Structure 1
Amino acid sequence: MKKEDIKPGDWYRILFGETPVEFMLEILLRTLIIYTVLLVIVRFMGKRMGGQLTISELAVMVTLGAIVSPGMQMPQTGLLVCTVILICALIFQKGLNRLEYNSSRFEKISQGTLTVLVRNGIIQVEEMARTKVSREQLYAALRGKSIYNLGEIDRVYLEACGIFSIYSRQKPAPGLLLFPSADSTIGAYAQQKADGVCVCAYCGKVSDRAESQEVCPECGKDEWKDASISYLAETEQQEQ
């Protein structure tokens, strides 16, 4: 389009561009056909496409969007071409799934492996840095599961598909509180101070209070806080 063709107030160009009004009706038909074909293709790709996407599935979904867009909007693009490309994407995805099923080595290369972010209530700082997961992201995931103390956690895995798998301890231990520092009104809900121990504010390593002047042996930081324990867990220990 040339510069002189752009005129303010040209509502036909603004609304319809260079296509005739009749093409609007054709867009409805094209969208209906492509949408139906896309539903069928995604259905054949399997149930995983409707859940948490893996790396390859995410790549396919982005590709599908790029495939269907021209066929629905551009009058010079035929629907048959889009349909053939969609079928090719289906074949590629099915072939990739077959390779991943038959070869665990190929599956690790294409999908990655899980990472242990928390072990025995202690944040694995090096793994967090390697996976580019921040502590606030981890804390948010734990708070979303109604977990407010690292002492309640045995393991946190970052799965290959990007979700957090959280496993709690049978008996919560003293640990680092996970309440947001900006929310001073929440108090210490169901938590109380653990006597005789402190906790590293960076990784959650619990240590004797006498050692609080030293650097943390897990992460090398020297910032310590009072360790807390679940009020319910403390009550159960006293009853025993």
Structure 2
Amino acid sequence: MDEIVPFDLSRLILGDLPPLFLAEVALRVVIILVWTMVLLRWIGGRSIAQMSVVEFLLVIALGSAVGDPMFQPDVPLLPAMLVILLVVLFDKAADLMLARWRTAKRVLDGGPVEVIRDGVIRRDGITARDHGATELMEKLRLAGIRNLGQIDRAYLEPSGELSVFLRDRPIAGLRIVPPIELAERDPPAPGDPGCCIECGRIASAPVTTCESCGEVDWTRPRQDD
């Protein structure tokens, strides 16, 4: 390793890199930002909690861009400063697009997905966000929901949060308190309707395979006040 000369302005500002390398840095930033955005959009709001995709990406990009030039002698300041500037400008441009164009918001942040309608879990909705019925029921219990029959509509928001709208009058549905895994099995009596333990769909007797989710295990529908 060559001896490092302290306060060597040539190494400090640009290092041994040609000036045209700054253009390559700009290209690298665009490629990495777009690629990472695509991947974050693919995993959706489930893994980034309440942060938007743009905000999450900004934290990752700035963390690397700001950290490396602080202690790496072979990382010149000027390319790192250009990276930070481009990341911030990218974030500002994304904010403007999100504020002005609804299409841009759908592309960058996604949109809400309906996961429950009339007390029944929509399989296509939870699949679109890589959720399972068990995970959704956990979120409902955390929101104070005891029975799917209490719910009129529920939506998974782009942030990963769950928006729940209750019915004025609860109907019979799948009781999720206590959790199904801890509750005693209560199969419907012969000739009685059954409630699917996976999605909450109520079917008339005889019950066999749920038409909504393919589940074969049933319980009695219950009604909570």
TM superposition score normalised by structure 1? 0.63
Instruction: Note the 1:16-95 alignment, pairs <5 A.
Output: 52-77=50-75, 81-95=79-93
CA RMSD of aligned residues (A): 2.6
The answer to which structure has the higher strand fraction is 1
Instruction: Note the 1:223-238 alignment, pairs <5 A.
Output: 223-230=217-224, 233=225
**How far 1:226 sits from its partner (Å)?**
0.8
8 Å Cα contact 2:126/2:132 also seen in 1:
yes
TM superposition score normalised by structure 2? 0.66
The Cα offsets for residues 34-92 of structure 1, whole Å up to 9 and x where unpaired, read as: xxxxxxxxxxxxxxxxx921112211111111112212332444556544432321111
Greater displacement, 63-72 / 119-128: 63-72
The answer to which structure has the higher helix fraction is 1
- What residue number does 1:120 align with? 118
d(CA) in 2 for partners of 1:225, 1:169: 22
How many residues align? The count is 172
Aligned: 1:139 with 2:133 = no
For 2:155, what is the secondary structure of its paired residue? Answer: strand
**How far 1:217 sits from its partner (Å)?**
3.8
Aligned: 1:213 with 2:207 = yes
8 Å Cα contact 2:180/2:197 also seen in 1:
no
The AA in structure 2 aligned to 1:153 is I
Q: Relative contact order (C-alpha < 8 Å, sep 6+): which is higher?
A: 2
The AA in structure 1 aligned to 2:202 is V
Structure 1 gap ranges (5+): 2-18, 20-50, 188-192, 234-240
Sequence identity percentage? 25
Structure 1 residues 112, 86: CA separation in 2 closer, same or farther (over 3 Å shift)? same
d(CA) in 1 for partners of 2:180, 2:151: 20
Structure 2 gap ranges (5+): 5-48
